[in-house]
Amino acid sequence: MSKKHPPNNEHIDSNMIKMEVNLDDISGEWLGYVMDRLFEAGANDVFYTPIYMKKNRPGILLQLLCSNGKMEKMKDILLKETTTLGIRYYPLTVHRMERRFIKVETPWGTITVKQGVDKDGEVFQSSPEYEDCKKIAENHGIPLKQVYEAVWSRL
Amino acid sequence: MSKKHPPNNEHIDSNMIKMEVNLDDISGEWLGYVMDRLFEAGANDVFYTPIYMKKNRPGILLQLLCSNGKMEKMKDILLKETTTLGIRYYPLTVHRMERRFIKVETPWGTITVKQGVDKDGEVFQSSPEYEDCKKIAENHGIPLKQVYEAVWSRL
Amino acid sequence: MSKKHPPNNEHIDSNMIKMEVNLDDISGEWLGYVMDRLFEAGANDVFYTPIYMKKNRPGILLQLLCSNGKMEKMKDILLKETTTLGIRYYPLTVHRMERRFIKVETPWGTITVKQGVDKDGEVFQSSPEYEDCKKIAENHGIPLKQVYEAVWSRL
Amino acid sequence: MSKKHPPNNEHIDSNMIKMEVNLDDISGEWLGYVMDRLFEAGANDVFYTPIYMKKNRPGILLQLLCSNGKMEKMKDILLKETTTLGIRYYPLTVHRMERRFIKVETPWGTITVKQGVDKDGEVFQSSPEYEDCKKIAENHGIPLKQVYEAVWSRL
Amino acid sequence: MSKKHPPNNEHIDSNMIKMEVNLDDISGEWLGYVMDRLFEAGANDVFYTPIYMKKNRPGILLQLLCSNGKMEKMKDILLKETTTLGIRYYPLTVHRMERRFIKVETPWGTITVKQGVDKDGEVFQSSPEYEDCKKIAENHGIPLKQVYEAVWSRL
Amino acid sequence: MSKKHPPNNEHIDSNMIKMEVNLDDISGEWLGYVMDRLFEAGANDVFYTPIYMKKNRPGILLQLLCSNGKMEKMKDILLKETTTLGIRYYPLTVHRMERRFIKVETPWGTITVKQGVDKDGEVFQSSPEYEDCKKIAENHGIPLKQVYEAVWSRL
């Protein structure tokens, strides 16, 4: 498996897997912790879904996305940090649009904005970077919402 | 507080409370167990909602409905069987419609149907009893769905 | 109970109730329908929460907010359109901020924006009206996102 | 990939994919809109799951099912109408049972009922068409439930 | 497809599938029932996720894991006991760690503990068997939590 | 309203309220942020529930618990940091069990354990402090689970 480059501005990554674990014998406290460990170890994404399991148990479906090469590392964390003895996975393909980053000046400082550009060169997506906005909101004691709105009005 | 009887076929019960506990340090296994204990001790209803708690923790909101007189008993179970040290509650009023029970004959046996009757004497609700239907489905090796449909077609 | 007007731009409504019903014997199809009926009859809000009920049943908690005067009408719909024979409720207080509406011109037409103004006269909230944006997006074949962004950049 | 016809009354469609997107920077308003767009463009199904994402964010997992041939169209809508720059997908197989439609007369008009027939020719599934039932309920001012019950009692 | 044995203490099972059904026209009562039927018929796991479907319908995503050889049996139950006419599935791989069982003595009797052992022979997982703990809790009238804690303190 | 002290080891706090907001026009990113702000400002608890709102919108029910005296502060944050113009609340009573803290020595350092003691002086609850365990797990590169287990085996 390898990364193919379509003519334009889109990457097709066929090298990804989704790993899944069902958990009904672990607390939320531990789950908050394990998510951080998996991200640190290079997971592309980690997320939880509430599920209904047998014997009236509210459980959690842990899903994570990573490249094939990270699988052993992820498995290792899942076994050590959760209560599972079985992990399932399947391959998937990811289409990723080319992204570029621009800087936007606000009254309180510069904020990076991530943009998606389509095959005709048009911007179809503009997302102010959360960590930039958060830092400004906290440092200046203003609502986060106001920071985002300031960026949007300058795009 | 007491039960008032409106002229017709409706009871207003002002004697009820809802108790609530947020849980992020307990497993689904234990939660499946504690639900049964609370019902056995006389809770009118017990149900769980998935919630998002601090520090990225998937948690559970346990809610239960019971009469004021049952509060101490419920609290006792919650403290012993869950991981909480704090329980909150508030009063609520319950309107309950008069219900009556009829018998419906099916090819596999009799099934009780719970009916709600409105103030003009009209049936607005007919629910085959689950445990009756389940027993017949299991004993005769037929789908539960088929048992319900047999009841509905005879109402 | 009555509506009190605090000095500024905030209404305190003590005339509201929340009604709740737990449902485990009704399909999603019917629930989609009953939500519309309740809104039509004047509910201030109606929303569903997934809940875990006894006997391994995924259920739905229906909650609705309405004024005291609407309670009988709501109860009537709940009894006729759902499968419940019991409805619970409790009073609550609602703080509502004064809202005003402004018009914003976009390349494709005018869009109403709802604004919240705080006690110092400052706008702390600006929400383009969804139905306006939707109509423009559909009529001009442009993404809804683009319509909102056009409004935000003009605020 | 092609459609194979097993001897009886079941189609096996190996031509389907599931597309998935994780979203934590989009509002519910927009998500309600994008579901309609995806169905209009020919998705077989679209549904949302609440998920727990990093940094304490409640997010949504958008999943859609479509044939391979629809993938580009779906991707286009997802990029334009949501905030994502990455879309993942994987193939799946769908078994679809042969369905037939019968007409049932009720006091208020005719209702179509979709039926599933198994390999021995037996009906194992009967679903009154929602839109038919809804129209009758609205036109005659009767509960939707009553319309369904009238159909069931005539099957 | 077959089971491969890696050198150590891990099984890789490439013989598994996940089956999925979206349901918006079935009650929670029936879903509680069908989960039991699927487990009885040999499903490795069955679980429900709340999903948002079209037309404002709260629905359920039923997922089940089983070996390829069980697929027809599962399909049969899904068609008979739910309201679906279409079932989708895809293959997945399951890594299962070698597990061993030890006995732990408590003041109230013996409890089996399931352990996971890693490739260096170290125990990384110890789970008291729920049914053992439950039985002791019920027979001796002590909290389930206390039984687990007694086991943990003896490991 | 005031705090009453029952004879034993339980506090009844009648001075608490629950505030609630329904949100369908805000992103998960902002919601992750606002939770932190509310905790910093003194909320006793803040949690999110996924809800199904009108027009097919996945929404979030924000709930927070605070003392009466904190209400204005919380309202201020909700108005500034979310998209709501209306906030509802109702009083509730909280029973809090007396808690005491003990120290437990592990091979990697001391960990605080919170204990609940019932009216007969018996410990019915023992929770290792998460932040203590987390710090040790991170500093020593061992699984969080192993730290908890070390504490439990010493209780």
Residue-wise pLDDT tens digits, A101-129: 999 999 999 999 999 998 888 899 999 99
Q: Please indicate if any CB of chain E lies within 8 Å of the CB of C107.
A: no
**Residue A8 pLDDT level (bands cut at 50, 70, 90):** low
Residue B118 has pLDDT above 80, yes or no: yes
- Whether residue D87 lies within 8 A of chain A, CB to CB, comes out as yes
- What's the whole-number mean pLDDT along residues A123-151? 96
Secondary element (H or E) of residue F9: none
For residue D6, the model assigns a pLDDT of 44
Q: What does the pLDDT average to over E20-45?
A: 98
d(CA A133, CA A112): 9
Enter the DSSP assignment of F69. Answer: G
Report how far residue A37's alpha carbon sits from residue A79's, in angstroms, rounded to the nearest whole number: 12
Among E24, E28, E48, select the one facing C29 at the smallest CB separation. Answer: E24
pLDDT at residue A155, rounded to an integer: 86
Beta carbons of F104 and F17 less than 8 angstroms apart: no
pLDDT in tens, C14-23: 999 999 999 9
Q: In the prediction, which pLDDT does E121 show? A: 84
Q: Catalogue the E-assigned strands of chain A.
A: 3-4, 10-23, 45-53, 57-67, 86-97, 99-106, 109-117, 123-128
Phi, psi of C145 (to 5 degrees): -55, -40
Task: List pLDDT tens digits, range B75-112.
Answer: 999 999 999 999 999 999 999 998 999 999 999 999 99
**CA–CA dist A113, F117 (Å, integer):** 53
Instruction: Check CB contact of A36 with chain F, cutoff 8 Å.
Output: no
Residue type, D59: G
pLDDT at F48 over 60: yes
Q: Number of helices and strands (H, E) in chain B?
A: 4, 8
Q: For residue A5, is pLDDT > 60?
A: no
Examine the pLDDT at E79 and tell me if it is beyond 90: yes
Check whether C5 has a pLDDT greater than 50. no
Q: Which two tokens stand for residue A50?
A: 């509430």
Residue A20 gets the label, from left (phi > 0), alpha (psi -120 to 50) or beta, of: beta
- Following CA atoms B101, B103, B106, B111 in sequence, which dihedral angle do they give, to the nearest 10 degrees? 50
Confidence class for position F8, pLDDT limits 50, 70, 90: low
Query: Which chain A residues in 58-77 lie under 8 Å from chain E, judged by CB atoms?
Result: 59, 61, 75
**What is the C-alpha separation between B45 and B74, in angstroms, rounded?**
12
The 10s digit of each residue's pLDDT in A50-97 is 999 999 999 999 999 999 999 999 999 999 999 999 999 999 999 999
pLDDT in tens, C55-113: 999 999 999 999 999 999 999 999 999 999 999 999 999 999 999 999 999 999 999 99
Q: In this complex, which of E34, E130, E143 lies closest to B81 when CB atoms are compared? A: E143
Is a pLDDT exceeding 70 seen at residue E7?
no
**Are E82 and E23 a contacting pair, CB within 8 Å?**
yes
Tokens of D117: 């027939």
Q: What is the mean pLDDT of residues B135-151?
A: 96
If DSSP codes are grouped into helix, strand and coil, which group holds residue B144? helix
DSSP state of F92: E
- Which uninterrupted H or E stretch holds A5? none
Give pLDDT, residue E97. Answer: 92
Residues A151, A104 contacting (CB under 8 angstroms) = yes
In whole angstroms, what is the distance from residue D25 CA to residue F148 CA? 35
Over residues B41-62, mean pLDDT: 98
Tell me phi and psi for residue C149, to 5 degrees.
-60, -35
Q: Which residues of B touch D50 (CB under 8 A)?
A: 50
Residue of B66, B71, B74, B147 lying closest to B112 (CA atoms): B147
Residue in E with minimal Cα distance to A84: E125
CB distance C33–D134 less than 8 Å?
A: yes
Nearest CA in chain E to A80: E124
Among B116, B107, B62, residue whose Cα is nearest residue B84: B62
Q: Residue type for E57, please?
A: R
What percent of chain F clears pLDDT 90, i.e. is strictly above it?
A: 87
Provide the pLDDT confidence category of residue B3 given band limits of 50, 70 and 90: very low
Chain F interface includes C139 (CB < 8 A): no
What percentage of chain D carries pLDDT values higher than 70? 95
Q: Is the pLDDT of residue A25 over 50?
A: yes
The C-alpha angle E52, F49, D59, rounded to 5 degrees, equals 60
Rounded Cα gap, residues C123 and E153, in angstroms = 59
Flag whether pLDDT at F4 surpasses 50. Answer: no
Asked if the model's pLDDT at residue C1 lies above 80, the reply is: no
Task: Name the residue in chain E with its Cα closest to that of B129.
Answer: E29
pLDDT at F42 over 60: yes
* pLDDT digits 0-9 by tens, E54-72: 999 999 999 999 999 999 9
Q: Does the pLDDT value for residue B35 go beyond 70?
A: yes
Q: How is chain D classified by DSSP, letter by letter? A: --EE--SSSEEEEEEEEEEEEEESSS-HHHHHHHHHHHHHTT-SEEEEEEEEETTTEEEEEEEEEEEGGGHHHHHHHHHHHSS-SEEEEEEEEEEEE-EEEEEEEETTEEEEEEEEE-TTS-EEEEEE-HHHHHHHHHHHT--HHHHHHHHHTT-
Residue D121: band (very low, low, confident or very high) from pLDDT cuts 50, 70, 90: confident
Chain D residues near residue B154 by CB distance under 8 angstroms: 153
| Model-level ipTM above the cut of 0.85 | yes
In this complex, the residue of D55, D124, D155 whose CB is nearest that of residue B153 is D155
Tell me if A20 sits within 8 A of E65, measured CB to CB: no
Please check whether residue B61 is in contact with residue B24, taking contact to mean a CB–CB distance below 8 angstroms: no
Specify the pLDDT at position B122.
87
Which is more confidently placed, B120 or E123?
Answer: E123
d(CA F121, CA C13): 46
Q: What is the mean pLDDT of chain E?
A: 93
What's the number of CA atoms in the CB half-sphere (13 Å) around residue F16?
A: 24
Torsion D123-D124-D130-D135 (CA) sign: positive
Amino acid at B15: N
If you average pLDDT over every residue of chain A, what do you get? Answer: 93
Question: Is the CB of D11 inside 8 Å of chain C's CB atoms?
Answer: no
pLDDT mean over D69-92: 96
Nearest to D58 among B52, B55, B126 (CB): B52
Task: Tell me the mean pLDDT in the region C30-38.
Answer: 98
Are E84 and E34 a contacting pair, CB within 8 Å? no
State the residue for tokens 């679809």: D96
From the list B30, B130, B143, the residue facing E145 with the nearest CB is: B30
Q: Hey, what amino acid is at B61? A: L
DSSP one-letter string for A94-112:
EEEE-EEEEEEEETTEEEE
| 3-state SS track over chain E | CCEECCCCCEEEEEEEEEEEEEECCCCHHHHHHHHHHHHHCCCCEEEEEEEEECCCEEEEEEEEEEEHHHHHHHHHHHHHHCCCCEEEEEEEEEEEECEEEEEEEECCEEEEEEEEECCCCCEEEEEECHHHHHHHHHHHCCCHHHHHHHHHCCC
Each residue of D8-54: pLDDT tens digit? Answer: 578 999 999 999 999 999 999 999 999 999 999 999 999 999 999 99
Burial class (CB in 10 A: 0-12, 13-18, 19+), C53: buried
Task: Please give, rounded to a whole number of angstroms, the shortest distance from the CA of C140 to a CA of chain A.
Answer: 16
State yes or no: pLDDT of D4 exceeds 80: no
Whose tokens are 């009469």? That residue is: B67
Question: What pLDDT band is residue B6 in, cutting at 50, 70 and 90?
Answer: very low
Put simply, the answer to whether E48 touches C58 (Cβ < 8 Å) is yes
Distance CA A128, CA A130 (A): 6
Q: Quick check: A122 contacting C, CB < 8 Å?
A: no
